[in-house]
């Protein structure tokens, strides 16, 4: 319990400064681009409900709700600060945000698709959270997380580990979820170039990347986003995983 409270305090503090970074930051926007490239592979008519586990300040959840505008979209997070930002910033009729310290809404409900973006690298017992996600997902799971060598700035923002290729995919196969499509993207601009730059500048904690984004931050972010899209691989080579998985009882073809 003390560990949970300590974690909440850390992320509550960080979300006071990170919300614009998640909206305008180049890495966050590039990740959304990869996420929605993967979502093109699903049958939207199959997805009537979606849960975003660890939704943070809700930007990704909001765009998911716009994409699946016929579905009930729910975002949960253990940070009350993040949830309040999400509720104040994003309002759609099919979208709700819930402060959920122990992920009760994950364990006690079923969803057609469960997503979890940039979360499990922060979790001590990642196998437990993936198991709970697999128990709640009727059809699809989508995950994103970094792999490869952990940089210093990643530790500073709460990463506990980075994963090896195939580590999470193999675990999900044992939970009866097979990969539809897996991106390992980002070479060379995201990794190693951008990640090394973030370590050098202590990204996420310096005055340029945290807080409200002004014109200069937005211009620089747009330039960097261009580099992300056109100087980074989308799949095959890279350290950023974005994976789409489908429950085995309804899958026919896996990649």
Q: Which domains does the chain have, with CATH numbers?
A: 2-249 (3.40.50.150)
Residue identified by tokens 């009537």 is 48
- The pLDDT assigned to 20 comes to 93
- Residue 7 makes CB contacts below 8 A (sequence gap 6+) with 78, 158
Q: Roughly how many angstroms between the first and final C-alpha of the chain, as a whole number?
A: 41
Nearest to 56 by CA among 134, 119, 107: 119
Separation of alpha carbons 116 and 17, rounded Å: 21
- CA dihedral over 159, 63, 221, 27, signed as positive or negative: positive
Q: Return the number of other C-beta atoms located less than 10 Å from residue 168's C-beta.
A: 21
- The pLDDT assigned to 198 comes to 92
In contact, 21 and 213? CB cutoff 8 Å = yes
Q: For the chain, give the longest Cα–Cα distance.
A: 50
Instruction: Render each residue's pLDDT in the chain as its tens digit; 255 residues.
Output: 344 445 788 889 889 889 899 999 999 999 999 999 999 999 999 899 999 999 999 999 999 999 999 999 999 999 999 999 999 999 999 999 999 988 899 998 999 999 999 999 999 999 999 999 999 999 999 999 999 999 998 988 889 999 999 999 999 999 999 999 999 999 999 999 999 999 998 877 777 788 899 999 999 999 999 999 999 999 889 999 999 999 997 554 443
Separation of alpha carbons 73 and 29, rounded Å: 20
User: What is the Cα 253 distance to its own chain's centre?
Assistant: 25
- The whole model's pTM is what? 0.92
Task: Give kind and range of the element (H or E) at residue 138.
Answer: strand 137-146
Token pair of 225 as six digits: 């986003």
Q: Are β-strands 177-186 and 238-247 bridged in parallel, bridged antiparallel, or unpaired? A: antiparallel
178, 147, 210, 82: CA torsion to nearest 10: 30
Supply the DSSP symbol for 232.
Answer: B
């Amino acid at each position: 319990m003390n560990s949970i409270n300590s974690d909440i305090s850390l992320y509550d503090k960080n979300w006071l400064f990170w919300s614009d970074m998640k909206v305008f930051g180049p890495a966050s926007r590039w990740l959304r681009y990869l996420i929605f490239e993967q979502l093109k592979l699903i049958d939207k008519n199959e997805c009537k409900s979606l849960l975003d586990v660890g939704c943070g300040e809700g930007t990704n959840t909001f765009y998911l709700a716009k994409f699946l505008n016929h579905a009930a979209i729910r975002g949960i997070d253990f940070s009350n600060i993040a949830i309040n930002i999400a509720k104040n910033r994003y309002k759609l009729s099919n979208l709700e945000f819930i402060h959920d310290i122990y992920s009760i809404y994950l364990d006690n409900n079923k969803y057609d698709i469960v997503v979890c973006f940039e979360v499990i690298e922060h979790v001590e017992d990642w196998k437990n959270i993936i198991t709970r996600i697999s128990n709640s997902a009727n059809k699809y799971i989508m995950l994103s997380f970094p792999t490869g060598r952990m940089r210093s700035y990643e530790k500073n923002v709460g990463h506990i580990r980075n994963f090896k290729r195939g580590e999470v995919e193999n675990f999900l196969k044992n939970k009866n979820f097979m990969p539809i499509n897996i991106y390992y993207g980002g070479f060379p601009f995201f990794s190693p170039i951008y990640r090394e730059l973030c370590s050098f500048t202590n990204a996420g904690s310096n005055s340029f990347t945290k807080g409200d984004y002004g014109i200069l931050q937005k211009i620089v972010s747009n330039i960097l986003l261009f580099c992300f899209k056109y100087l980074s691989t989308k799949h095959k080579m890279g350290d950023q995983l974005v994976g789409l998985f489908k429950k085995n009882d309804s899958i026919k073809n896996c990649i």
